[in-house]
Amino acid sequence: MRAALQRPSSVKAAQWASSRALSGEPTAPAMKTECPGPKSKAVMADLDSLQSMKSVQFAVDYNKSLGNYIVDADGNTMLDVFTNISSIPIGYNHPALLNAFNTPEKMATLVNRPALGVYPGQDWPQMMRDVLMSVAPKGLENGHITTMMCGSCSNENAFKMMYFKYMEKVRGGRDFTEEEMVSCMTNQAPGTPQLSILSFDGGFHGRTAAVLSCTHSKAIHKLDVPLFDWPCADFPRYKYPLEENSKENQAEDQRCLAQVEEILEARTKMGNPVVGVIVEPIQSEGGDHHGSNAWFQGLQKICAKHDIVYLMDEVQTGGGPTGKLWAHEHFDLDGAPDVVTFSKKMLTGGFYNKPELSPKLSYRIFNTWVGDPGKLILLDAVLKAIKSENLLDNTVQAGNVLLSGLKEAQTKYPGLIMNARGLGTFCAIDADTSARRDQILMDLRKEGVNCGGCGPNTIRLRPALIFEPRHAHIFLDKLNTVLGKY
């Protein structure tokens, strides 16, 4: 992880701002009522009569939300550094997205949603080539791409490729036997093998059965759900500041890598071998835990040694928030991971994979829609805006301001907040307790900042790619105002 760079001068910050600001975007937060206010509470009560969704925090007026500011049903205008759980790539109501369906052909793509696995449009291969393959992770430019609906189904279907690869090696290229085809219909061996996926403590990969088996961030996600008995290894937990604890953190890397080796050997001996590893570049739900370049490189070497699949889950980190389109490209890996999954800021789910992993028979990776061409039209607009507006550079600049400011705040308020860390604007800091973290988030909202938490006591920042140094200064001013009250 890199150290924070020098904060940009006010002149340079103004230059960045003028080139990316959306016309009409508010210049500062403005709170009219508490949040949630009376109108939000009425919407929440109405919603509660229709579905159980106790997670709702407030109702949003998406017509009035703009750029980096979210407006709730009561007219409160808040600087949004959470952006719908990091899923708004270039801000609210960006002109590039509002104008995306500006031809009859694009509108036809939107309204005629195809079953892509059976009846793709004649332009579908070129759409994927022009949009998704144009930003394929380095090393996967000549690989395959599969679109999906969300992060969970992206990871879930990527797991199936892991199983297929392993079992094809076991069969040695022969066809399925009659016994295998009959037994799999009742979930019995030999057609249903015992195989495992290795994941990491603190990881989050989705809410369907297999990926939930690999999710270890909060108990509430998993309680009462029958899941697979799959192994979980330790993800490194570093001491901060990193530069003062390099020896201890290197030892932590080695401990965690050795544990992975031990698990792989043990699972093979028990007849339930690990066929792949899934890992996030940054554990985004579990507490924004980072791993070093050396740790990710070591994990890749272990996967290669044991001939198992290395899956990088970029659902939260992909799309640019770390300053690179793909966070794992910070790690100087020896070639690309075998599979890279994505969603959120990429506006569609899906995964890139090395061609040798792709299934050789039809319907093995399949659902009715297998993605949505309309989302690629939106993503195309996002990617063009990222390029034309230099939004990755902007994200690095804004992230430098954020991380520098978080480090200053933890020095100013020792014992309250600590462990400032981040890549790009994908930044986080820990509070001393869970209760304190929750209070900080509530008080930030009173000050007109919508922020989020993760893990037991972490404050996480997930702004849009158009979040500039000037927005970072607004956030830091509000954070210091809140911390100064304790």
Q: DSSP readout, 395-425?
A: HHHHHHHHHHHHHHHHHHSTTTEEEEEEETT
Radius of gyration of the CA atoms of the chain, in A? 23
Beta bridge mates, 310: 277
Cis peptide bond upstream of 190, omega within 30: yes
From the list 58, 204, 235, 475, the catalytic residue is 204
Q: Which two tokens stand for residue 322?
A: 């770390």
From the list 313, 338, 372, 380, the catalytic residue is 313
How are beta strands 449-450 and 77-80 bridged, if at all?
parallel
Question: CB neighbours of 81 closer than 8 A, spacing ≥ 6?
Answer: 449, 450, 451, 452, 461, 462, 463, 467, 475
**Cα(291)–Cα(255) distance, integer angstroms:** 13
- Report the residue count for the chain: 486
* Known catalytic membership, residue 48: no
Q: ∠ CA 51-54-451 to the nearest 5 degrees?
A: 130
Burial bucket for residue 228 (CB in 10 Å: 0-12, 13-18, 19+) = middle
* Known catalytic membership, residue 204: yes
From the list 103, 177, 192, 368, the catalytic residue is 368
From the list 165, 344, 407, 478, the catalytic residue is 344
Beta bridge mates, 460: 428, 452
Question: CB neighbours of 403 closer than 8 A, spacing ≥ 6?
Answer: 4, 420, 421, 422, 427
The residues annotated as belonging to the active site are: 204, 313, 344, 368
